[in-house]
Structure 1
């Protein structure tokens, strides 16, 4: 099974920010039900590995907190856009939660993550989008802001790839303490 750890957004917020990617040529838009902030992409894991990951994530202690969404950008290069996203303002509690999740996943036998943590919500993906698409998207939406959004849990998700895109299922939720 394909796993990741993330923070689900309230559906009403996801529906609102999904509107940012309407009408973009070649975009594979992320459905509001799938919008989240990834804390750690894990990848393929069997049932035993998933149980270890779940046990270690359940031990994490962290306070509840708020996030703010701010600005938009893209991942890719000057030649090829891979995805468009809304930024999440960093805060110390979010960064510490990411570090605790990373540590729990590594203790579960997974390899350390190789990317610097850049909190964001993916809005659309491309198979080789033109840089002009990203430029127009940023120009139209860079003043975007939303929040504060209360965060009181994080989730272990399973991602099932289908012909119509990924479908995410919550395998376990972990409460954050007031």
Structure 2
């Protein structure tokens, strides 16, 4: 079984900027720089047939390359905060790509999350952090901005959960068209 998701890779220079945000919250488990990504679709557990179906479905996705900029910081979890994240500046191109990926996977028979797409890069997972502390952190870093940087491909990742957190591996890459 593979635990799969589709995401954009975060360039090293952008990951370096994100790591500068990672401090000041007791109870935060900060994401390692090599694990930064922007999820387009979470597939979940898939056997080898599901893995092949995902590869085939994503092969059909066509979308143009674009530039993206990270902007702002926020919190997930209404009453009980569970994650801190860096946001993405409004990007019709990103939304278009995400919709194409989601449509291709649904047509291939995958049951995907029905929540509205909120593009973000997770900075930390929270445990026993008050809403006030999480919101204060987000407010302190609310003016964060990084980029623009080119997005020229998206990737099918596998995720292996271990004692030291998750390990992500790119299983396949899909180039975006260069008609920019």
Q: Number of matched residues?
A: 177
- Write the deviation string for residues 45-98 of structure 1: whole angstroms up to 9, x where unpaired: 111101111111011111100111111101001x31110000011311111111
Question: How far did 1:15 drift?
Answer: 1.8
The match for 1:5 is: 6
What are structure 2's unaligned runs of at least 5 residues? Answer: none
> What pairs up with 1:1-178 in 2 under 5 angstroms?
1-77=2-78, 79-178=79-178
Question: How far did 1:129 drift?
Answer: 2.1
Distance in 1 (CA, whole Å) between partners of 2:24 and 2:127 is 16
Structure 1 runs of 4+ aligned residues shifted over 3 Å read: none
Secondary structure of residue in 2 paired with 1:160: strand
Give me the TM-score of the superposition, normalised by structure 2: 0.95
Distance in 1 (CA, whole Å) between partners of 2:133 and 2:8 is 28
Secondary structure of residue in 2 paired with 1:63: coil
Question: How far did 1:139 drift?
Answer: 2.2
Secondary structure of residue in 2 paired with 1:99: helix
Question: How far did 1:19 drift?
Answer: 1.7
Secondary structure of residue in 1 paired with 2:82: strand
Secondary structure of residue in 2 paired with 1:177: coil
Secondary structure of residue in 1 paired with 2:56: helix
Question: How far did 1:24 drift?
Answer: 1.6
Give me the TM-score of the superposition, normalised by structure 1: 0.96
Distance in 2 (CA, whole Å) between partners of 1:87 and 1:103 is 23
- Write the deviation string for residues 77-135 of structure 1: whole angstroms up to 9, x where unpaired: 1x311100000113111111111100111122111421100101100001342112212
